[in-house]
Amino acid sequence: MKRKRVGVIGGGQLAWMMGEAAHSLGIELIVQTPNQDDPAVSRAADVIFAPLNDAAATAKLATLCDVITFENEFIDLEALRALAGQRVDFRPSLDALSPLLDKYEQRLYLQQIGLSVPQFTSLSPETARQSPSNFPVVLKSRRHGYDGQGTFILKNRQDWENIWKSLQPGDMLVEEFVPFEKELAVIAARNDVGEVVVYPVVETYQENQVCRRVIAPADITVKVKQKVEAIANTLLTQLQFVGVVGIELFLTGDEKVLVNEIAPRTHNSGHYTLDGCNISQFEMQLRAVSDLPLISPTFKSAGTVMINLLGYEYACDDYYSKRIQLSSIERAYVHWYGKTKSRPGRKLGHVTVLLGEDELQQAGQIADKIESIWYC
Ligand code: ADP
């Protein structure tokens, strides 16, 4: 059965981008999101204004759609469990989401299915302040971290002492700092009949733990590419996952691939697929959750570079003239999420530039040019 009305928990830019794909597939999106000015409100057929963890609102959402999917994992899983089975079909299922929502449990699960992860341990509020013996370490909130919020790279004991002055005690994860050679990411999808597709592996660049740019494809060996694809296949199959996942990875100098994080939804590292591939990650998610066949993803050009337009000030500005300037760059596509308020680090939009064969080596310079216009 094809699903014509898809409910989405979360109404940020990911749901907004899914809205365009929905339109072209003839699918209506019904969105659960808290605010009138959330990006996806403008592209939804209907909206339930409620926090994402409001299960009563999700019960109402369920009456308006054929299937419910997610653009955000900040949900109340236990409250949703009470709804599952009562005419509500979640895709991915709540069982598939369950091991992924808490970063510590996610690491345990990945280890259990045989995937390599950085060495890690949990910290309870009681044991939190005991300093590790080796530095650097990475301290992470187990839940609700995003865009580097809740992730702290601590170089020494002094950093460790200092961080606890500003942190609320809570459950945290502490892990080894991985001296990676590259950060990689990949988008993959699976549908209900078990078809799996894996997008090209990309390289991501973070500054202060926030993604600045993505170069697709990553410049890696065939062996590394195959390792990443095998990770994606194992994960989706083990979880019996239906939908799209974003997988973030570390590549070390000796060609080991460690999984850093799984996002059980579309992901910033896959935004390049909108303009750069024959099928975007957003259409892929809708196909996967609506029982449509998946399409094998390929590049439209030799590659792409995607640059996030991050807020750099507190302002209410639509940055119109900068956007016009950016869109005049050859083969550049500007996506503006329509957020009304800017603050430092907030993702306001992104630009994708399609690259010819002879431009792949210049992706970094092209990204520099875009950033010099945006951050000037
Ligand atoms: P978030 O969920 O906020 O995106 P991540 O766990 O993805 O947090 O971390 C954000 C960034 O911090 C990563 O992309 C990477 O650059 C850096 N980072 C996170 N964990 C480690 C680690 N164990 N070793 C080295 N760098 C790390």
Verify whether ligand 1 is closer than 6 Å to residue 338 (CB atom): no
83 Cα: distance to centroid of ligand 1 (angstroms): 34
- Whether pLDDT at 307 is above 70: yes
Ligand 1 contact via 209 beta carbon (within 6 Å): yes
Is 136 touching ligand 1 by the criterion CB < 6 Å?
Answer: no
CA angle 13, 259, 160 (to 5 degrees): 90
Statement: residue 84 has pLDDT above 80: no
Q: Is 74 in the pocket of ligand 1 (CB under 6 A)?
A: no
Alpha-carbon distance 342 to 325, whole Å? 19
Q: Does 171 score more than 90 pLDDT?
A: no
Q: What is the pLDDT of residue 122?
A: 87
Query: Predicted confidence band at 313 (pLDDT cuts at 50, 70, 90)?
Result: very high
Pick the atom of ligand 1 nearest to 118's CA.
23
SS3 string of the chain?
CCCCEEEEECCCHHHHHHHHHHHHHCCEEEEEECCCCCHHHHHCCEEEECCCCCHHHHHHHHHHCCEEEECCCCCCHHHHHCCECCCECECCCHHHHHHHCCHHHHHHHHHHCCCCCCCEEEECCCCCCCCCCCCCEEEEECCCCECCECEEEECCHHHHHHHHHHCCCCCEEEEECCCCCEEEEEEEEECCCCCEEECCCEEEEEECCEEEEEEECCCCCHHHHHHHHHHHHHHHHHHCCCEEEEEEEEECCCCCEEEEEEECCCCHHHCCHHHHECCCHHHHHHHHHCCCCCCCCCECCCEEEEEEEECCCCECCCCHHHHHHHHCCCCEEEEECCCCCECCCCEEEEEEEEECHHHHHHHHHHHHHHHHHHCC
Residue 169's pLDDT is what? 64
211 CA to middle of ligand 1, Å? 10
CB 191 within 8 A of CB 287: yes
Distance 100 CA to ligand 1 centre (A): 16
Q: Give me the pLDDT at residue 316, please.
A: 95
Answer yes or no: is pLDDT of 3 > 90.
Answer: no
Q: Whose CA is nearest to atom 20 of ligand 1?
A: 138
> 345 CB less than 6 Å from ligand 1?
no
Report whether pLDDT(1) > 60.
no
Q: Which residues are registered as beta bridge partners of 5?
A: 28
- Asked if pLDDT for residue 87 goes beyond 80, the answer is no
- Measured from the Cα of 263, ligand 1's closest atom is 2
**257 has a pLDDT exceeding 80:** yes
**183 touches ligand 1 (CB under 6 Å):** yes
Rg (CA), the chain: 20
pLDDT band at 85 (very low <50, low <70, confident <90, very high): low
Res 88 pLDDT > 90: no
pLDDT in tens, 54-72: 999 999 999 999 999 999 9
Section 36-58 average pLDDT: 96
pLDDT above 90 for 350: yes
Is the beta carbon of 233 within 6 A of some atom in ligand 1?
no
Task: Judge whether residue 145 has pLDDT over 90.
Answer: no
Ligand 1 atom closest to the CA of 140, numbered from 1: 6
Of 214, 262, 277, the closest CA to residue 108 belongs to 262
**Structural domains in the chain plus CATH codes:** 5-90 (3.40.50.20), 119-176 (3.30.1490.20), 182-374 (3.30.470.20)
Dihedral angle computed from the Cα positions of residues 115, 119, 123 and 129, in that order, rounded to the nearest 10 degrees:
-160
Prediction pTM value: 0.96
Kindly tell me if the per-residue pLDDT of 25 is higher than 90: yes
Q: Which of 143-157, 160-174, 215-229, 358-372 has the lowest mean pLDDT?
A: 160-174
Least confident of 147-156, 222-231, 268-277, 278-287: 147-156
Distances (CA, A) of 160 to 119, 141, 156: 18, 14, 6
Q: Chain-wide mean pLDDT for the chain?
A: 94
| Contact 210 CB / ligand 1 (< 6 Å) | no
For tokens 């699976």, the residue is 190
For residue 140, the model assigns a pLDDT of 93
Q: How far is the CA of 293 from the centre of ligand 1 (A)?
A: 34
Cβ of residue 38 lying under 6 Å from some atom of ligand 1:
no
138 lines ligand 1 (CB under 6 A): yes
Tell me the best of 209, 248, 269, 308 to mutate to test the pocket of ligand 1, counting ligand atoms within 8 Å of each CB and taking the most: 209
Backbone torsions φ then ψ of 147, nearest 5 degrees: 45, 40
